Amino acid sequence: MSKRPKNLDLNQLAKRIVDEASGEEPIEPSPEDENKAAKEKKRLDGLKGGKVRAQKLTAKQRSEIASLAASTRWHKVD
């Protein structure tokens, strides 16, 4: 079953259902269909990314990034 937008009115929804049934509009695969192994690999690669990036930065670059993050965190917005 495809995921249809919930903000369509009744006529738009009916047209979309007919288009999908007749083959005029391709049915979008749901996100659950993605391979679980691929999801896990992406997650593990993402976890490694921060450590690898930190090793490539110099101490001065890390300090600049940290000070920018701190100033952004404590900046008051009115």
Q: What is the pLDDT of residue 8?
A: 72
The phi, psi pair for 2, rounded to 5°, reads: -85, 155
C-alpha span between 30 and 3 (Å, rounded): 6
Tens place of pLDDT per residue across the chain (78 aa) = 556 566 778 888 888 888 888 887 776 655 655 677 788 888 888 888 888 888 899 999 999 999 999 998 888 665
Q: What is the pLDDT of residue 29?
A: 59
pTM above 0.85, yes or no: no
Q: What is the pLDDT of residue 67?
A: 93
2's tokens:
């495809």
